[in-house]
Amino acid sequence: MVDLAKEMPLLARHEGVWDGVYSYFNAANEKIDEHASRLLCRMTGDDETPYHQTNHYRWPDGKTEIRDFPATYRDGRVWWDNDLIQGWAAEVPLDEYNRTVMLYWQRTGDPSLYLYEQIQISDDGQNRCRTWHWIRNGLLETRTAIQEHLVTRDWKAMDAEMKEAAEKGIHVEFGGGPGFGG
């Protein structure tokens, strides 16, 4: 059985529920999108999918989206291979402060577009910031800046709460920043 928390202790510090805001900028540094987020980052204890992340997004106009990312583990990395993305996440051992996780992925079916992400977690584990560089055919296309704060480590309770609310048709508030009610 894979003990992902033992294999990737820095990633284990990210386990829990994170609320935040995603801001997207084009190559000319013009803001092109912004939306609130709630991410459930799970260490499942399951050998087949030891890491599982679910991203909930909400735009100021009321649009919502949910994306699900179960992942496998091998060679010191978690790996995604689904209808949306293919790629990996790994801890950065050169960071003597143990704050940095790096990701690489590309859109499934679009090899001309790939992305590198850097995640920095605060020393107290309560905040993190993330940056994405979207590169198409070798040129920067988009940057994404993400600010998040930890809501709870208890992702199981939050997952159950959100599923129950969805079944009842209840709108759950999350995220933060101007226009997002957080």
Q: Is the pLDDT of residue 182 over 50?
A: no
pLDDT at res. 176:
67
pLDDT at res. 53:
97
What does the pLDDT average to over 113-122?
A: 97
Residue-wise DSSP of 50-61:
SEEEEEEEE-TT
Q: d(Cα 58, Cα 163) in Å, to the nearest integer?
A: 16
Neighbours of 181 (CB within 10 A): 12
Measuring CA to CA, how many Å separate 152 from each of 11, 66, 97, 149?
Answer: 16, 19, 23, 9
Could you read off the pLDDT of 30-59 as tens digits, one per residue?
999 999 999 999 999 999 999 999 999 999
What does the pLDDT average to over 127-153?
A: 97
Could you read off the pLDDT of 51-100 as tens digits, one per residue?
999 999 999 999 999 999 999 999 999 999 999 999 999 999 999 999 99
CATH number belonging to the domain at 4-168, selected among 3.40.50.20, 3.30.470.20, 2.40.128.20, 2.70.50.60: 2.40.128.20
pLDDT at res. 153:
97
Q: d(Cα 153, Cα 173) in Å, to the nearest integer?
A: 18
Could you read off the pLDDT of 166-181 as tens digits, one per residue?
899 888 889 765 444 4
Query: Would you list the domain boundaries of the chain?
Result: 4-168
Six token digits for residue 111 = 């090899």
User: Pseudo-torsion of CA 48, 148, 129, 139, nearest 10°?
Assistant: 80
Averaged pLDDT score across all residues of the chain: 94
Percent of the chain with pLDDT over 90: 91
129 — pLDDT class (breaks 50, 70, 90) = very high
Q: d(Cα 80, Cα 71) in Å, to the nearest integer?
A: 5
Q: Is the pLDDT of residue 132 over 50?
A: yes
pLDDT at res. 180:
47
Predicted TM-score (pTM) of the model is 0.93
